[in-house]
Copies of this chain bind each other. A is one copy, B any other.
């Protein structure tokens, strides 16, 4: 069904590695100990990599900085594909003028800002400017008053026939070892059900995330889907999405999926990775320095 293997042996078989971020490279405590070896090995072996993440709370520059300040200097903005980038591309292509109302932090909105469009928090939409709102974007679960602004978002979408874009499809995310938080994807789903309209979602398992990274790779030279492996800790997003896009996949047991119930979940969901692996860490001894 799937093979259990050592992470270094697995990536030796591919030219490119796509990584999920949370539960793979880092967790609520910080970077995974030893993960820097993995990137040292990739560099040594001249392998390409991308971080493919359902995160629209910050720009790629800020996301890269968050790794750098923790000591992982290998990660640069041009190696990060976020669902926020797809949102930005959508707005660039499809919304030509007016206001983009958003739920999220100023940081999250700053990134999607572009010439011609004006981003404004949902809290600042009122009778004077609602007619200029041409899109509503769900960026982050923080940065606004849930009671006031979720209710306001419902009523904006009832009054305006405009696209609603969900820049993070996750319904919840881990906060610490014991607790989770409701993610903006969960809030958006509630509002979608209430207003009865079809929202546009960006994020794994949707293929558009993988396509974005694949396109960047192809600009650098000939590549086949057979040359790429996707590494993630979540069956329903990383593995399902990678599989569907035609990539080989690695389920790592350092995050959402625990060793004890990996097999049960694979059988229950029918989502089968190509490999299972303890973590994405390459041991220092394996580096061969």
Contact = CB atoms under 8 A, between A and B. Distances in A.
A125 to B, nearest CB: 13
Interface residues of A, number: 60
Interface stretch (A36-44, A50-58, A108-116, A262-270): A262-270
**Interface SS of chain A:** helix
A186 interface: yes
Nearest to A148: B146
Greatest chain B CB density within 10 A among A151, A247, A267 is at A151
A208 B247 CA distance: 13
Nearest to A199: B270
Contacts of A180: 154-155, 158, 194
Give the oligomeric copy count.
4
Contact of A208 (B159, B178, B207): B207
Nearest to A187: B190
A14 interface: no
Nearest to A226: B93
Which 5 A/B pairs are nearest by Cβ-Cβ distance?
Answer: A197-B270, A146-B146, A93-B246, A190-B190, A207-B208
19 contacts: A146-B146, A151-B181, A151-B182, A158-B179, A161-B270, A162-B272, A163-B270, A171-B194, A180-B194, A182-B190, A186-B194, A196-B268, A197-B270, A198-B236, A198-B240, A206-B207, A207-B207, A207-B208, A208-B244
